[in-house]
Amino acid sequence: MKEKYLAVEIKGEIFVMNNNDELGGLTDNDVPHTVIGRICTQGCNTTCLHYRGGTCPCKIMKDADGILIHVFVD
């Protein structure tokens, strides 16, 4: 299964996590979290096809480290 990267809110902060190991760890340990949506790309920047084409439907957010991310909000 190919990993997807998700924006996950934990205690008011946004973290980028993969849908396999990291998100499973939150669930297994009963950590309260909210999945905001799928990340456009792991490191969404000017190499993103949606961004370059001017058709990015994503919401721009900052993660807990202050890095801009593009999120497909469900």
Where does the pLDDT of residue 2 fall: very low under 50, low under 70, confident under 90, or very high at 90 and above? low
Rounded mean pLDDT, 37-52:
69
Where does the pLDDT of residue 13 fall: very low under 50, low under 70, confident under 90, or very high at 90 and above? very high
pLDDT at 27: 85
Q: What is the pLDDT of residues 16-43, one digit of tens each?
A: 888 877 888 888 889 999 999 988 765 5
Distance separating alpha carbons of residues 64 and 74, to the nearest angstrom = 20
Q: What is the pTM of this model?
A: 0.74
DSSP letter, residue 22: H
